[in-house]
Each structure stands twice: as C-alpha cells, then as structure tokens.
Amino acid sequence: MENLKLNVNVAGVHFKNPLIAASGTFGFGLEYKDYIDLNQLGGISVTGLTLEPRKGNPPPRIVETPSGILNSVGLQNPGVEYFIESVLPELKQYNTIIIANINGNSLDEYCHMASRLQQADIHMLELNLSCPNVKQGGVSFGTDPKMVYSITKAVKKHSYQPLVVKLTPNVTDITEIALAAQQGGADAISLVNTFLGMAIDVKTRRPVLGNITGGLSGPAIKPIALRMVWQVSKVVDIPIIGMGGIMTGQEVVEFLLAGATAVSVGTANLVSPNSMIEILNELKNYMVNNKIFDIHELIGGLIV
C-alpha cells in the first residue's frame, strides 16, 4: 500500500492524492477537523465565497430525492474578507491543497475577489460560473460560451494562482462551454455542478424548497456527470477535476478512466464525515488488487 503513487499534478499544483472535497459540501474544511485527518485529503475546495457576506436562501434548503439531494443553500457564507482574515490562517496549518471557490454577481465582482485572493495564501482559484441557486450571476454566466470566455479571460488577469473554471451541466453542449473556458485562459476545468430540479409537496401543493428550485447532486447524477467529463476530456488540453455522485473508490476510478486528473467528492460528505477517507482506502485497495501502482495508469485509460 505504501508504495502506491497517488499524487497528481493539476495545472502545476501538486496534490498528494486525487481526492478533493467539493465546494459547498465541506464548509471551510475546519468543520471536519475533529472527525477526520484533513492532512489525508488531496485538497479542499472551500464553500462558495462572495464579495459580501450572504445569508443564503430561505428554508427549507435541502430535500432528499431518490439517490440524491436537492439543495438551494444560495451561497450562504461570511464573505471573502472573513475567509482570508479569520479562516485561512488556521486552514493553512494543514498539509492539503486549498482552493478558493468564488461567485460574483457581475464581472467586476469576480475580478475584485480574484485580486483580493491573489494576495492570499491559497493554491488555486475556482471560478464558479454554475450556481443554480442565485438570482444574479451564477448559472446564467455559465450557460453562454461568450460570457464564459470573457469572464475567464478577465479573471485570469487578476489571478496569480492557477485558475479552475467550474462548469454547469445545465447546458445542451458541455464541450462548447469547456472550450470557451480553455480559450479564455482557464488552467483547469471542474465539472459538474448540480442539475436544476424541484420537488413538490402534494399535500400543500407547494414547492418543498423555499427557493422553489434547487440543484440535484449525489448518485442520481453520476452517469450524466461521467458522460460529460468524458466528452470534455476529448476536446480540451487542460486537466479536468471530475465530480458528480462519487460515493466509492471504484467511482473515482470511473472518473479517472473517463479523463479526469482529479475528482471532487460532495454529497458523500453529508452522509458521513468519514466518506472521503473511506473512498481513498477503497481507491488504494482497487489499485493493489488490480496491480496498479501509479494512479496515472488510470487517467484517461478508458478503452472504447
């Protein structure tokens, strides 16, 4: 087990293993420090940050669906300044890659946050162009290739750290959006964010979520996410961080075979705080049992 090579390089950033906690499902990471050893994680993409603090959407914000959840949290967070001043110093004590996930209402806001984070001690910046739960910005930026290109290009000028652009799956052709991000200067792409959905209470005839609609995540979306990662990997030259419904080590292998260099685990963290450690152990067992000693033997290894 000790001889396994699990480390991957995403846009020049060295991850000790390919498992990253997905933004919005792992807080700032510190919330999990009493339950798991954060040093074991490849990286943490912190909860979506905005320029100003946000209270998020009205409750209820989460509803279970068959094999998944719908959420409409709406980017509740204390704001980028608070993160830099009050969270990052403690988070940096852990030996794991820190990715700041940013969300703007406008191009200016994205650039402003990137400039501020440029001076902060983070490893990567993740541009979330894909949140389905906010009225301004979010998913509406991420569905238009021209907009994706312009925002990526503008933010890139303000970001010293490698830039990851996170794509929404709520589009007809994901490859068009991925190419726009690459042309705009993205150093890596992460996909997918959640799928827009809704739930209705038939007793009250009202939507279950306070925001009416929400984003679907978890095992229900995995086959679609996997298909999108595979399609994108065939057209871009930059590394991909794949995600959507990963609950087991074998599912990590599926995403790597489809062309992802690293993966994020989201909803599984809400099932058990120990999920990522279990998934990592399952990945190692898979490699040992299949005599794979270097994780690179799996990346892009799909046989068609």
Ligand X SMILES: Cc1cc2nc3c(=O)[nH]c(=O)nc-3n(C[C@H](O)[C@H](O)[C@H](O)COP(=O)(O)O)c2cc1C
Q: Which is nearer to ligand X, 76 or 292 (CB)?
A: 76
As measured in angstroms, the least distance from the Cβ of 235 to ligand X is 20
Establish if 245 lies at the interface with ligand X (CB under 6 A): yes
Tokens standing for 152?
A: 């990526």
Inter-residue contact 98 to 91 (CB < 8 Å) = yes
Q: Where are the alpha helices (DSSP H) in 52-131?
A: 80-82, 88-91, 107-118
Query: Considering only 52-60, 264-272, 276-284, 289-297, which stretch makes contact with ligand X by CB under 6 A?
Result: 264-272
Angle between helices 222-235 and 174-184 (to 10 degrees): 50
**Given candidates 193, 211, 233, 261, which one binds ligand X under the rule CB under 6 A?**
193
Residues 61-100 that bind ligand X (CB under 6 A): 71, 73, 75
Q: Where are the alpha helices (DSSP H) in 32-98?
A: 80-82, 88-91
Q: Which is nearer to ligand X, 226 or 238 (CB)?
A: 226
Positions marked catalytic: 131
Residues 128-167 that bind ligand X (CB under 6 A): 128, 131, 166
Establish if 266 lies at the interface with ligand X (CB under 6 A): yes
Report CA-CA distances (Å) from 121 to 80, 93, 229, 258. Answer: 13, 11, 29, 32
As measured in angstroms, the least distance from the Cβ of 256 to ligand X is 15
- The DSSP bridge partners found for residue 19 are 263
Residues 30-59 that bind ligand X (CB under 6 A): 47-48
DSSP state of 30: G
Inter-residue contact 262 to 18 (CB < 8 Å) = yes
Q: Which is nearer to ligand X, 31 or 297 (CB)?
A: 31
Inter-residue contact 283 to 255 (CB < 8 Å) = no
Establish if 221 lies at the interface with ligand X (CB under 6 A): yes
Q: Which is nearer to ligand X, 251 or 299 (CB)?
A: 251
Q: Which is nearer to ligand X, 17 or 194 (CB)?
A: 194
Residue 81, helix vs strand vs coil: helix
Query: Considering only 85-93, 156-164, 238-246, 289-297, which stretch makes contact with ligand X by CB under 6 A?
Result: 238-246
Residue with tokens 């290009």: 153
Query: Considering only 6-14, 174-182, 214-222, 276-284, which stretch makes contact with ligand X by CB under 6 A?
Result: 214-222
Residue of minimal Cβ distance to ligand X: 24
Rg (C-alpha) for the chain, rounded Å, is 18
Report CA-CA distances (Å) from 33 to 37, 140, 277. Answer: 6, 35, 13
Could you list the residues that contact ligand X (CB under 6 A)?
22-25, 47-48, 71, 73, 75, 101, 128, 131, 166, 193-194, 217-218, 221, 243-246, 265-267
